[in-house]
Amino acid sequence: MAAPVALITGAAHRLGAHTAETLHGRGWNVVIHYRSRQEQARQLIDKLNRERADSATSVQADLTNPEDLARLAKTACNHWQRLDGLVNNASVFYPNPTENATEDDWQGIMGANLKAPFFLLQHCLPALKKSSGAVVNLIDIYSEKPLKDHPLYCASKAGLAALTRSWAKDLAPAIRVNGVSPGAILWPEGDAEIDPNYQKAILDKTPLARTGNPTDIAGAITWLMCDAPFVTGQIISVDGGRSLNM
């Protein structure tokens, strides 16, 4: 029997890479999308293909480019002639106070976090319907309780949460659609890096009093993809209880 196939966006590192490895460990073939992390993507697919031959491939694409998005979907669906799962993991995160936000900020954040998942799913829809597939969107606890000075990011994730529930109704019974909403798992990097004092404040509001592990997110995604045939339209918070105290 042919292995099921998942396309995971932003899968060359961090949570996306952990998700790819976890699904691969459950017998899935994986299409690793990346934008600029070519070497990390190559290392990951080499590792997975050593574990199981011809089980992983990668595709470079700028998710804000409509032509790249269409090419990504076509390549993912055609490589093994099927697509059983889509994980919309890739996102853009950085502060942009309203008074300073630009059209480029709007296009970049909304384009990557909201527009790209919508049209990527649209492109993948025939293959997912054929396989009675599953979709998991990475949301954020800030979609419900906004983070200061991140209005566009929070709005984009709130929109993706709404899409998740809309798709669950519209695409049933052929396709299940769910979301995973991480709390403090991996701290942001680069320009979006969070001040250590703020990190401590976040953990002080987290009942489990610690950060989570990437495997917590990968496990939740994998459960929704593999082991939850009667679950759709749900957004699962994996946050150590922090959403109780926001």
Q: Give the catalytic positions in this structure.
A: 14, 140, 153
Report the chain's terminal Cα–Cα distance, integer Å.
46
The position carrying tokens 């990437």 is: 214
Alpha-helical regions (H) of the chain: 14-25, 38-51, 66-79, 103-110, 116-131, 151-170, 196-204, 214-226
Cα 110 to Cα 63, 141, 153, distances in angstroms: 11, 17, 8
Contacts of 120 (CB under 8 A, 6+ apart): 9, 63, 69, 72, 73, 86, 88
Three-state DSSP class for residue 129: helix
Q: Is 70 exposed, middle or buried (0-12, 13-18, 19+ CB in 10 A)?
A: middle
Q: Give exposure, 176-208, as e/b (b: 16+ Cβ within 10 Å).
A: bbbbbbbbbbeeeeeeeeeeeeeeeebbebbee
